[in-house]
């Protein structure tokens, strides 16, 4: 059974000031988790975690992670701007290219970030846009299928990302001829897996690729980025990833493959947004309606616009009815939001304790790819984000949107002025 990191008493006090729905993050849990990761890879002197900004792009959380020694993995102009504003500069930033506009390459190079190229054709595109930096990284796509223990984890051959090996080799040579001096290698072959064999297996593939490139081109990579992919146990019965075991597995592959080939000083990087923040954020919502027709429904004040993963992927998120943690789960419910879409459900046929209107529900494991994936369909507004501090108080780290935020991009129009006037007349805050 999953246990929330916040109590009912704490939530009641929080909701006196901040109405639901809102996201709540656990500072203590986040810091401790980053330190576990760093300890697991402490055998590598150059190890660094580049937190995937897309997972949870909040400057307060990024600043917290910066204090813990993390860098940032960015994938867009605005993510680069956010990282820069928080104080990440130079090699603190990894910029992963993917169908990238020229202005994003220009900004990444201006900030001194490490550019991770996605395709062979991007080499000349980057050269023309802003020049080739001395440090460069390339994303590898080995093709085929990626398997562990006879289970297919991913199909790289069907993925739009990365260089196949022949293009990778040619790309390294071309980049060197253009002035690149320090090279990195990157790959991402599985998403959200708690299989402890994933990272060591991926590391083996990248380490052997680095050795082959060294033998064929004379280029020794300086760093290898294992990217993300280590997941979290969304379901209570799932076994969590063992980060100590994973770190040791990567170390063994490093010693077996890289060291004998003379590649003894390769830095290891990771991009573990979900692993770091996922379990330490939740969506807090209130039951506001109940409906008894062909099924039993509980309507809450959050919706898929606040957390889209269940609607989009059918993803499971555990739900705790606060104050009823030890009550029998003897009621079968669909937990729904208010969107005009029938897939706007946080749970389907979920066995839970009896839910009454006014009950507070905690939707677990929403700390990554939760608020970040919010949207405004039906004119629904994105919720606030709060940080539960290590010493107990709660800090507002993103206010809830207002109707005027929704209309703000119409500020040049007569309609916006009418709406702003009507907001005041209607007493909407």
Residues with a known catalytic role: 340
The tally of CA atoms less than 13 A away on the side-chain side of residue 234 is 17
Residue 423 to residue 405: CA distance in whole angstroms: 12
Cβ contact 94:225 at 8 Å: yes
Cβ contact 191:206 at 8 Å: no
DSSP-assigned beta bridge partners for residue 186? 139, 225
What is Dmax (Cα atoms) for the chain? 75
CB atoms within 10 A of CB 209: 20
β-pair type (319-321, 267-270):
unpaired
Residue 76 to residue 97: CA distance in whole angstroms: 9
Place of tokens 């506001």: 288
Q: How far is CA 326 from the centre of its chain?
A: 32
Cβ contact 257:213 at 8 Å: no
Residue 254 to residue 181: CA distance in whole angstroms: 23
Residue 167 to residue 107: CA distance in whole angstroms: 26
Q: Note the residue count of the chain.
A: 429
Residues 6+ apart with CB under 8 A from 313: none
Task: Identify the DSSP state of 367.
Answer: T
Residues 218-233 as b/e (b if ≥16 CB within 10 A, e otherwise) read ebbbbbbbbbbbbbbb
β-pair type (281-292, 360-363):
antiparallel
CB atoms within 10 A of CB 194: 16
β-pair type (151-154, 22-26):
unpaired
């Amino acid at each position: 059974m999953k246990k929330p990191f916040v109590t009912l008493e704490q939530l009641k006090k929080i909701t006196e000031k901040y109405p639901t729905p809102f996201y709540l993050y656990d500072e203590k849990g986040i810091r401790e988790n980053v330190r576990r990761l760093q300890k697991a890879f402490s055998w590598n002197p150059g190890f660094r975690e580049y937190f995937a900004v897309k997972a949870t792009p909040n400057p307060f959380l990024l600043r917290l992670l910066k204090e813990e020694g993390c860098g940032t993995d960015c994938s867009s102009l605005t993510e680069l701007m956010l990282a820069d504003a928080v104080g990440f500069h130079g090699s603190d930033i990894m910029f992963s290219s993917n169908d990238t506009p020229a202005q994003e390459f220009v900004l990444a190079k201006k900030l001194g970030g490490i550019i991770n190229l996605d395709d062979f054709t991007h080499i000349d595109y980057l050269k023309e846009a802003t020049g080739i930096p001395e440090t460069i990284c390339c994303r590898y796509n080995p093709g085929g299928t990626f398997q562990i223990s006879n289970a297919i984890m991913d199909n790289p051959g069907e993925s739009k990302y990365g260089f196949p090996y022949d293009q990778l080799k040619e790309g390294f040579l071309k980049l060197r001829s253009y002035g690149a001096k320090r090279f990195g290698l990157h790959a991402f072959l599985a998403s959200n897996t708690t299989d402890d064999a994933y990272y060591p297996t991926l590391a083996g593939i990248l380490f052997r690729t680095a050795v082959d490139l060294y033998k064929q081109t004379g280029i020794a990579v300086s760093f290898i980025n294992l990217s993300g992919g280590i997941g979290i146990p969304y379901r209570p019965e799932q076994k969590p990833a063992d980060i100590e075991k994973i770190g040791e597995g990567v170390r063994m592959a490093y010693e077996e493959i890289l060291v004998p080939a003379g590649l003894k000083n390769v830095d290891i990087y990771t991009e573990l947004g979900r692993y770091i923040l996922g379990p330490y954020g939740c969506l807090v919502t209130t039951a506001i309606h109940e409906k008894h027709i062909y099924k039993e429904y509980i309507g809450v004040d959050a919706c898929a616009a606040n957390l889209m993963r269940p609607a989009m992927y059918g993803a499971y998120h555990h739900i705790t009815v606060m104050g009823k943690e030890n009550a029998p789960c003897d009621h079968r419910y669909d937990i729904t939001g208010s969107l005009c879409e029938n897939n706007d459900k946080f749970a389907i046929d979920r066995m839970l304790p009896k839910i009454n209107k006014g009950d507070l529900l905690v939707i677990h494991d929403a700390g990554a790819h939760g608020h970040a994936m919010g949207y405004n369909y039906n004119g629904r507004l994105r919720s606030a984000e709060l940080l539960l501090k290590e010493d107990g108080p709660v800090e507002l780290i993103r206010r809830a949107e207002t109707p005027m935020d929704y209309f703000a991009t119409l500020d040049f129009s007569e309609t916006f002025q009418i709406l702003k006037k009507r907001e005041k007349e209607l007493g909407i805050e």
